[in-house]
A = this chain, B = another copy of it.
Amino acid sequence: MDRDKKKNEIFQAALKVFARFGYQKTTVDDVASEAGMTKGNVYFYVSSKRDLYEKTVSSALQKWRDTVGEAVAQVDDVVEKFSIMASLSFEYLVGQEELRSILTMDQSIFSLTPREDRFYEINLGAMQLIKDILKQGIKEGRFWSVDVDPTAELLFSIYIMFLIKRYVKSEGVSAARMYEEGMTIILRGLCATPPACLA
């Protein structure tokens, strides 16, 4: 439909503005201007400012998860999967400064609580990706036999923190440097047989 195209234009504009000013400081007028239309018209497509925000973020998260999920599905080796998941998520976000900015500002996006979590389903998808990798690794004897659920959640958190918080433009320390140190430490801690693991 033509309507969906228009909506996407609005979400794109909204992403830009929300990323820059945050939810509260962003006015519906800002978004409308960025989208080249008027405030009144924006309300023709969304029901409220909150609705606009959530649809905007959901749309961006969806694209992100889809990109990563597809890439991971194309390899078999579990360590490789882990690496790809980590690095592609990283690389993807590197090119998505706006989404990064929003995630930084609004950590609640990853709250993982079913109730009142507007992004619950999307997050579940990402969590599942990690859990699958962990299970596979344990089953294949490549990973220590950790408790899958809390570990998945832990990794999800670190991964979020890793990919996002550290890459806020203004932070001084080299992102790559920290990324390397971090991945090494995590994998070293996760693998049952270091040599094989890091090979």
**Residues of the B chain whose Cβ atoms lie less than 8 Å from the Cβ of A73:** none
**Residues of the B chain whose Cβ atoms lie less than 8 Å from the Cβ of A161:** 157-158, 161, 165
**Residues of the B chain whose Cβ atoms lie less than 8 Å from the Cβ of A182:** 154
Look across to chain B and name the residue whose beta carbon is closest to the beta carbon of A158.
Answer: B158
State the Cβ distance, A105 to closest chain B Cβ, in Å.
8
Tell whether A100 is near chain B: CB-to-CB under 8 Å: no
Q: How far is the CA of A178 from the CA of B158 in the complex (A)?
A: 12
Given contacts A158-B158, A171-B113, A190-B185, contact A178 B165 (CB under 8 A): no
Say what secondary structure dominates the interface of chain A: helix
Tell whether A168 is near chain B: CB-to-CB under 8 Å: yes
State the Cβ distance, A28 to closest chain B Cβ, in Å.
15
Q: How far is the CA of A166 from the CA of B152 in the complex (A)?
A: 13
Copy number in the complex reads 4
Chain A contacts with B in 149-199, Cβ cutoff 8 A: 149-151, 153-154, 157-158, 161-162, 165-166, 168, 170-174, 177-178, 181-182, 184-186, 188-190
Q: How far is the CA of A104 from the CA of B178 in the complex (A)?
A: 22
Tell whether A74 is near chain B: CB-to-CB under 8 Å: no
Look across to chain B and name the residue whose beta carbon is closest to the beta carbon of A115.
Answer: B170
* B104, B107, B149, B177: the one within 8 Å of A165 (CB): B107
How many A residues touch the partner, as a band?
35 or more
* B151, B171, B181, B185: the one within 8 Å of A112 (CB): B171
- 17 extra interface residue pairs, beta carbon distance < 8 Å, beyond A112-B172, A150-B174, A157-B165: A104-B108, A111-B170, A112-B171, A150-B173, A151-B178, A153-B166, A153-B178, A154-B166, A154-B178, A154-B182, A157-B162, A157-B166, A158-B158, A185-B186, A188-B188, A188-B189, A189-B189
30 example contacts (A-B, Cβ-Cβ < 8 A) are as follows: A24-B24, A104-B108, A105-B107, A107-B107, A111-B171, A112-B172, A113-B170, A147-B177, A147-B181, A149-B173, A150-B173, A150-B174, A150-B177, A150-B178, A150-B181, A153-B166, A153-B173, A154-B166, A154-B178, A154-B182, A157-B161, A157-B162, A157-B165, A158-B158, A158-B161, A161-B165, A184-B189, A185-B186, A185-B190, A186-B189
